[in-house]
Amino acid sequence: MAIDKNSVEYVAHLARIELQSKELEKLSSQLKDILSFIDKLNRIDTARINPTSHILPISNVLRQDQSKDSLAADKALENAPKKQGDFFSVPKVIE
Amino acid sequence: MELHSQSGHQLLDLIKNKKTTAKEVWESLESRVRAIDTKVNAYVRKDEKREPSLKPDSQQEGKLMGLAVTIKDNICTTGMNTECCSKILKNFSPPYDATVINKLKTNAASIFNLKANMDEFAFGSSTENSAFMATRNPWDLDSVPGGSSGGSAAAVAADEAIWALGSDTGGSIRQPAAFCGVVGLKPTYGRVSRYGLIAFASSLDQIGPLTKDVEDSAILLEAIAGHDQYDSTSVDIAVPDYKKSLGSGIKSVKIGIPKEYFIEGLDPEIKKIVGEAIDQIKKLGAQVQEVSLAHTEYAVAVYYIIATAEASSNLARFDGVQYGLRVEAGKDSSAGMIEMYKKTRGSGFGQEAKRRILLGTFVLSHGYYDAYYLKALKVRTLIKQDFDHVFKELDCIITPTSPSAAFKIGEKVEDPLKMYLSDIYTISANLAGIPAISLPCGFTKKGMPVGLQILAKPFDEETIFKVAHAYEQATPWHKRKPEL
Amino acid sequence: MNRRHPGISENQNYNMPYEAVIGLEVHIHLKTKTKAFCGCSTEFGSPPNSQTCPICLGFPGSLPALNSQALDYAIKVGLALNCKVQEYTKFDRKHYYYPDLPKNYQISQYDLPISRDGFLDIYPQGIKKMVRIKRAHLEEDAGKLMHKEQSSLVDFNRTGIPLLEIVSEPDINTPTEAYEYLASLKSIIEYLGVSDCDMEKGSLRCDVNISIRPQGIEALGTKVELKNMNSFKGVKDALTYEIGRQIEALESGGEIIQETRLWDTVSAQSISMRTKEEAKDYRYFPEPDLPPFIISQKKIEEIKKTIPELPREKMRRFIEEYGLSEYDAAILVSNKNNADYAQERLKAWPDKNKKPVANWLIGPLTALASSNSIAISEVKITKEDFLELVDLVENKQIVSNLVGKTILVEMSSSGKSPSLIIREKNLAQVSDVESLEADVDAALKENLKSVQAYKEGKNNALMFLVGQVMKKTAGRANPKVVQEILKRRLA
């Protein structure tokens, strides 16, 4: 499956990554090669095979509805690039 | 012999016998780092202000008796930054310790106050993708130490660490262990808690020890293994006394050698050295036979779909809102938030990270999910079945760890696909969730270490330790040190 | 009278009849103590970012662990809504970028929701209508965003609170039906005790999808999504407006654009979001950090047993067993605690005719509760005292209705029994003819104009005079006896 520059641009938008035009060129070509390599999977017939999403045969992992200590607000905000009082601050979001 | 040159179990004995203290060991490590790390670059952020209290007092009661453990930069530690060697996590100081850190502390270990270098977000097989610098292989400073746990492996090999923790998603503990001539173990998926490990691929990641010998590996694994209520994928199976597996001989052990691992692409020198190691193991009494892991050739493709898909998802959170790098658009920008995301991630992620995120996003996207992601999950089932089939009859599988010894710095970094293919022997163990170790089995003519890989059934690390230890004790490899 | 198609809202004169096709998407906060995937508290109204931890903040390295109570509550709601509970269920990641979503993905459920294919019966205008429930699934809530002049502020207290998303099939055809659907849903869920369903506090949110089509046409019209309603009435108003807007657009030759519109309560209009909406690619894939869940038949049975008699059944039973009218029964069952309170009293009333008790519950007791801003189940009057009062008023007629009401108030504030209050305050109704004749005569003397009016044929005057006697006796006179005496005197 070939992936063209437009697709890469669209995917970069989905992933919220800004690419410089040189980057876009290079990455598009590299991704194309990698996807060609990956296409070898089409050689295998998997029509009757179940997918493995979880490698361990475990299920029903649950925890009790019991409270645990929360972080103090200042700890939660310690790494914040920008804050206002006890809030995280971000550029204005327009809805 | 210098304190820093000894293994963990040797030092534990010395401490128990009051011949030294954990504090002295720490100081020995510090002076070793000062002496040679400018050459090796195993550690990062050496100028960072750290908690001085991490250094142990003279004596510490507990299994690990205050000995320092070196931690890879993707495992959360309070009191020290945890940045995954990426620009986007610059200055991130986690408000919590990873579960393995808590377990180490419970066992009276001390946490070394320098973090080990790595490929950014564990994306890589050479530690050249670190945002800081490349780590050098202690056996040849122009060669890579392997990756992504290259810093951890190099530190142990160069005696800048007694032992270290790394992480393994597709071989990131085992391959650098092989390149650096140390022991590296990837535990069974679910054996060790992932809580506090900054995730790369959630269904493949495991934290594991990098050590100077097999006994140390057993000691460290026992200290960090076990069920964790904070990790829903950690398994509630009792942690055995792994030391009991050591020294019991391997006479009845049945070993398989998969034919698909010994084809073109494997360096002839490695093939020869690994062949000799297998002969040695036969001499020790194990029964060896050829087996088939029929879907081996698809493993890299499957891995690069699943791992990048999960990575693209796990890395979505790095956006400049709550921590790390933030690059804001100009004040006039009306799409301020989107711009911030794009610029932050555009400048914060390195090339390999971008490549994987884009690939992962693509294989999950509308219209491609079935052809790629779902398909990969199905082939994963086939790969797992290959191992299940072999393990019905046999106890473990032996292969080379890597198709070549350490390559030169800069040799593969411009060719991602070539780089990916160097993981070909290690990747399947992650896909199947089984435990695997790499330990030294010889040296190339150029004097570079070669690694032997042993794989076993889920939660059967005991067989791995048994076989590895028997081989190690019958050979001189673990006693050799690089000249630095 | 013109039988208008139910889909058309009031006050319209359009060229052809239209039908509205409406689907509702309701999110409810499950009332667990802690969040879905971590042990932080779910309490409402705490200081910003004080109920967070590495997990709900989505800090690097954190992992989710599912709250068993959230799962049980989700199953409970599914069963109460007649759904099939999924035997094998799992979580999936839903990816999108927004500052109130810490991981930039939400842990939700995609293809194997916890329950599906259920229904809810509503009774618009008394006729049963089934609204099919497509699915109900578990997911985590996002944080709260506040917009300032130059920036937006984020509070992550709400992230991670367990949500149940209940999606109906587009079986609803009028704003009133939508309102009833919401009211019934809320009522049932309150009965289960799993959510407060309070739109004002944000524990219930509702988005609607609406399209219209000419009556008789099968093809669906263009769907518009409406958001930002913050009350059930708001939903009804928004739908009413939107139906009108869409019909007018079509009738004037325009077209409906598929979009999301926000309801603005102030201007009472739906407003286009105007931003170019791109098709969302959520890139769902199974959540690798949470192993799947297998719900056994045993578990389902266990949870089924915890489901109480639901409002509709209770109402039917109130009607059959207690002979209440549908109207009265509906009022009593609308809130579970009130229904239990009422049922206790209705059951204990020895007579077959329960209407007097119902009347006193719905009338004076409800009024008393409202005036104190509490629920009727919170009124502190014992069952015995309450029934005694009803008996004294309705059967024994010791006091009039009016006096009875004041006694009720006294009972709730003092905790005293009605007979004690009657004794202490000398409130017993006077039926003694002799003593009343004196009061009647006095009233007649003081109200000659009314006497005259009565004699001229104005019957109102009689009631006025009865009232005057009641005043004189501080309400204690038996009005029937007073009336008889007056008639005799005035004859």
Decide if A66 is inside a domain: no
pLDDT, residue B435, reads 98
A26 in a structural domain: yes
Three-state SS letters, C449-489: HHHHHHHCCCCHHHHHHHHHHHHHCCCCECHHHHHHHHHHH
What b/e string do you get for B145-168 counting C-beta neighbours within 10 Å, with b at 16 or more? bbbbbbbbbbbbbbbbbbbbbbbb
Chain C residues in contact with A91 (beta carbon < 8 A): 151-152
Cα–Cα distance, C326 to C62 (Å, whole number): 54
In a domain, A57, yes or no: no
Report chain B residues whose CB lies below 8 A from the CB of A71.
95
Out of C54, C150, C281, the one facing B96 most closely (by C-beta) is C54
Which domains are assigned to chain B?
3-255+393-479 (3.90.1300.10), 297-377 (no CATH)
- Give pLDDT tens digits for B426-439: 999 999 999 999 99
Looking at residue A39, which CATH number applies to its domain?
A: 1.10.20
pLDDT of residue C200: 86
A61 in any annotated domain: no
What pLDDT shows up at residue A81?
Answer: 96
Confirm or reject contact between C93 and chain B (CB < 8 A): yes
- Neighbour-count burial for C156-175, b at 16+ CB within 10 Å, e otherwise: bbbbbbbbbbbbbbbbbbbb
Phi/psi of residue C384, each to 5°? -65, -45
Query: Residue C384's CB: how many other CB atoms inside 10 A?
Result: 12
Distance from CA of C97 to the nearest CA of A (A): 8
Other Cβ atoms less than 10 A from the Cβ of B138: the count is 29
Interface touch A86/C97, C-beta < 8 Å: no
* Interface contact A10, partner C, CB < 8 A: no
Percent of chain C at pLDDT > 90 equals 60
SS3 content of chain B, % helix, strand, coil (to 5): 40, 15, 45
User: Cβ contact (<8 Å) for A87 and C67?
Assistant: no
C353 has a pLDDT exceeding 90? no
Convert C186-197 to b/e letters by CB count within 10 Å (16 or more is b): bbbbbbbebbbb
Amino acid, res. C86: Q
Query: How big is chain A by its Cα radius of gyration, in Å?
Result: 23
Domain count, chain A: 1
Query: Given this model, what pLDDT does residue B52 score?
Result: 55
Residue-wise pLDDT for C228-274, tens only, equals: 999 999 999 999 999 999 999 988 888 898 999 999 999 999 998 86
**C285–B373 CB contact, under 8 Å:** yes
At B30, list the tokens: 């510090």
How far, in Å, CA of C29 to CA of C25, rounded?
A: 14
- Beta carbons within 10 angstroms of residue C380's beta carbon: 10
| pLDDT over 80 at B334, yes or no | no
Residue B53: is its pLDDT beyond 60? no
- DSSP run (H or E) holding C250: helix C232-251
Domains and CATH numbers, chain C: 10-299 (no CATH), 311-425 (no CATH), 433-490 (1.10.10.410)
Instruction: Output phi, psi for B343, to 5 deg.
Output: -70, -40
Strand order in the sheet with C162-168: C84-85, C115-122, C129-140, C162-168, C18-29, C204-214, C224-227, C259-264, C269-272
Whether B335 has a pLDDT exceeding 80, the answer reads no
pLDDT at residue number C4: 37
For every residue of B435-478, DSSP letters joined together read: -EEEEEEEE-TTS-EEEEEEEESTT-HHHHHHHHHHHHHTSSGG
Query: Are B461 and B187 contacting, i.e. CB atoms less than 8 angstroms apart?
Result: yes
C70-116 pLDDT tens trace: 999 999 999 999 999 999 999 999 999 999 999 999 999 999 999 99
Q: Which residues contact C320 (CB under 8 A, 6 or more apart)?
A: none
Half-sphere exposure (Cβ direction) of C44: Cα atoms closer than 13 Å: 12
CB contact under 8 A, A53 and C50: no
User: Which residues, at least 6 apart from B434, have a Cβ–Cβ distance to it below 8 Å?
Assistant: B188, B189, B387, B455, B456, B457, B458
Q: What is the pLDDT of residue C40?
A: 98
User: Looking at chain A, which residue has its C-alpha nearest residue C283?
Assistant: A14
Q: In sequence order, what are the residues at sequence separation of 6 or more whose Cβ sits closer than 8 angstroms to the Cβ of residue B12? A: B64, B65, B67, B219
Q: How far is A21 from chain C (nearest CA, A)?
A: 23
- pLDDT, one tens digit per residue, over C128-141 is 999 999 999 999 99
Does C62 touch chain B if contact means CB atoms closer than 8 Å? yes
C-beta atoms surrounding C282 within 10 Å: 17
Tens of pLDDT, residue by residue over A2-45, are: 688 999 999 999 999 999 999 999 999 999 999 999 999 999 99
Q: How far apart are CA B315 and CA C396, in angstroms?
A: 77
Question: How many Å apart are CA B431 and CA B147, to the nearest integer?
Answer: 18
pLDDT one-digit tens code per residue, B226-262: 999 999 999 999 999 999 999 988 998 999 999 999 9
B290-326 burial: b if 16+ Cβ within 10 Å, else e: ebebebbebbbbbbbbbbbbbbbbbbbbbbbbbbbbb
**Using an 8 Å Cβ cutoff, are B140 and B447 in contact?**
yes
The reply to whether C54 touches chain B by the CB within 8 Å rule is yes
Are B321 and A88 a contacting pair at CB < 8 A?
A: yes
More confident residue, B207 or C456: B207
Domain residues for the domain of A33 are 5-43
Task: Tokens for A67, please give them.
Answer: 């409270």
Chains touching chain C, criterion 3+ CB pairs below 8 Å: A, B
What would the pLDDT profile of A36-63 be if each residue is shown by its tens digit? 999 999 999 999 999 999 999 999 999 9
Q: Is the pLDDT of residue A75 over 70?
A: yes
- Residues of B within 8 A of C152 (CB-CB) are 337
Q: What is the mean pLDDT of residues A78-89?
A: 96
pLDDT at B332: 59
Looking at residues B440-461, what average pLDDT do you find?
98
B233–A contact, CB cutoff 8 A: yes
Q: Calculate Rg over the CA atoms of chain B.
A: 21
Q: What is the pLDDT of residues B208-228, one digit of tens each?
A: 999 999 999 999 999 999 999
Task: Determine contact, residues B400/B425, Cβ cutoff 8 Å.
Answer: yes
Residue A84 maps to a domain: no
- Tell me the nearest-neighbour CA distance from C195 into chain B, angstroms: 26
Calculate the alpha carbon distances from B108 to B65, B139, B223, B480, C67 in Å.
5, 32, 10, 29, 32
pLDDT at C1: 32
Could you tell me where the DSSP H helices lie in B244-403? 268-283, 299-314, 336-348, 351-364, 375-393
Q: Do A17 and B362 touch (CB under 8 A)?
A: no
B388 at A interface, C-beta within 8 A: no
Distance CA B319, CA C102 (A): 9
Closest in B75, B321, B361 to C99, CB measured: B321
Domain membership of residue A19 (yes or no) is yes
Nearest chain B residue to C94 by CA: give it: B313
> Under an 8 A CB cutoff, do C99 and A68 touch?
no
pLDDT class of C279 with cuts at 50, 70, 90: confident
Task: List pLDDT tens digits, range B402-420.
Answer: 999 999 999 988 888 888 8
Instruction: Dump pLDDT digits (tens) for B291-320.
Output: 999 999 999 999 999 999 999 999 999 999
Contact C52 A68 (CB under 8 A): no
Among residues 65-94 of chain A, which lie with CB inside 8 Å of chain C? 65-73, 76-77, 82, 84-94
Look up tokens 């045969």; give the residue.
Answer: A57
Q: Which residue has the higher pLDDT, C67 or C17?
A: C67
Whether residue A83 lies inside any domain: the answer is no
For residue C7, the model assigns a pLDDT of: 42
Catalytic positions of B, written as ranges: 72, 148, 172
From A76's Cα to the closest Cα of chain C, the distance in A is: 7
Please give the distance of CA C36 from its chain centroid, rounded to a whole number: 26
The answer to whether the CB of B312 falls within 8 A of the CB of B204 is no
Yes or no, beta carbons of A76 and C66 under 8 Å apart:
no
The whole-number pLDDT of residue A26 equals 93
C-beta atoms surrounding A69 within 10 Å: 9
pLDDT at residue B282 in the model: 97
pLDDT at C204: 96
pLDDT in tens, C111-120: 999 999 999 9
Q: Note whether C277 and C295 are within 8 A (CB).
A: no
CA distance C165 to C413: 43
Nearest chain A Cα to B365, which residue?
A: A11
Q: Distance between CA C136 and CA C139 in Å, rounded?
A: 10
Distances (CA, A) of C403 to C394, C409, C428, C470: 12, 10, 9, 11
Higher pLDDT, C206 or C4: C206
**Residue position matching structure tokens 């891995």:** B303
* CB–CB contacts below 8 A, A to C: 127
- C-beta atoms of C153 and A88 within 8 A: yes
Asked if the Cβ–Cβ distance from C48 to A73 is below 8 Å, we say yes
- Please indicate if any CB of chain B lies within 8 Å of the CB of C48: no
Which of A6, A18, A29, A89 is the best substitution to test chain B (most B C-beta atoms within 10 A)? A18
Taking the alpha carbons at both ends of chain C, their separation in whole angstroms is: 49
Average pLDDT in the B129-134 region? 97
Strands B110-116 and B183-186, bridge-based pairing: unpaired
Show which of residues 13-32 on chain A sit within 8 Å of chain B, judged by CB atoms.
Answer: 14-20, 23, 27, 30-31
Shortest Cα distance, chain A CAs vs residue C3, angstroms: 42
**Nearest-by-Cβ selection for A90 from C53, C70, C151:** C151
- Note the pLDDT of residue C6: 40
pLDDT at position C149 is: 87
* pLDDT for residue B417: 82
Q: What is the pLDDT of residues C367-399, one digit of tens each?
A: 999 898 888 888 989 999 999 999 988 888 777
pLDDT (0 to 100) of residue B425: 96
